[in-house]
Amino acid sequence: MTTPFGARLRAAMDAYGPFCAGLDPHRGLVEQWGLEYSLAGLERFALTCVEAYAGTVAVVKPQSAFFEVFGSGGIRVLERVLGDLRDAGTLTLLDVKRGDIGSTMQAYAEAYLGKDSELRADAVTVSPFLGYGSLRPTLDLAEETGRGVFVLALTSNPEGFEVQHAVRDERSVAASVVAGAATDNVGAAARGELGSVGLVIGATVGDAVHDLGIDLVAADTPILAPGFGAQGGTVEALRRTFAGALAQVLASSSREVLGAGPDVAALRAAAAGTAGRLQDALHS
């Protein structure tokens, strides 16, 4: 894989709109679809999403935990989801939020970004709260394999405030994460490309980005903005929070679109409609 993830992400966003479709088979949604909450129900749910989303949206984001809960069988379903989307040419962002040090972080990197791993995705989410430098094994392997990493920076859950807003040497933890990603994206920025190290910043964080003095415009960094739609994130909030950096934003929604299932055509239409509205609103 020779084309960096950031360049492939930009091409996908330009082609399909700045939308990341969450694939979250939690019990409530599976049962809402009239399926049994079992391994068979999980597989039916997940493969229906693959059929609807492949070739429809820029990125599909499976949440690993909802597969892991079914043990080895659930992992096999996740492997199939990732493989089928890979074969269809649709980018995958595996939401695993791993974070560790040394050889353990290296093992996580090889599990999700290694070129021969059955669980390999185009990108993964990681947690930097053991220190941004602890992510180096993942960042290095992603660069080597042409894959991407999205680093938690500023999340909307209330518990995140005490860590992410904490200040040392006049800079918040969140701002230091943004600075780390910007440094890793210097090469891409010099080529005029979107970087392959992204940030996770909630669609509902409000003025926190500005209050913490975070400069997203200068980062040349993709921004995954979860929480759009059913969790309260609006187009207006995205425009206000990410003003000046809208071209970098990849908004993510799960429940609002998944509620259109289990009909494949309805699910595909809901995803395409959301992507189109975001394209019009954020890039007009």
pLDDT tens-digit profile of 255-272?
989 999 999 999 999 999
Q: pLDDT tier at 200 (50, 70, 90 boundaries)?
A: very high
pTM over the 0.85 mark: yes
Domain 5-282 is in which class? Answer: alpha beta
pLDDT of 233 above 80: no
Active site residues: 97
Q: How far apart are CA 131 and CA 134, in angstroms?
A: 5
pLDDT band at residue 237 using 50, 70 and 90 as cut-offs? confident
Residue-range domain boundaries for the chain: 5-282
The string of pLDDT tens digits covering residues 119-172 is: 999 999 999 999 999 999 999 999 999 999 999 999 988 898 889 889 988 899
* Mean pLDDT over each residue of the chain, to the nearest integer: 93
CB-based contact 277:235 (threshold 8 Å): yes
Residue 21 neighbours by CB distance under 10 Å: 29
Long-range contacts of 270-274 (CB under 8 A, 24+ apart): 271/19, 271/21, 271/52, 271/53, 271/56, 271/57, 272/56, 272/57, 274/19, 274/229
Look at the block and give the residue holding tokens 């395409």.
272
Quick check: 281 pLDDT over 90?
no
SS3 content of the chain, % helix, strand, coil (to 5): 50, 15, 30
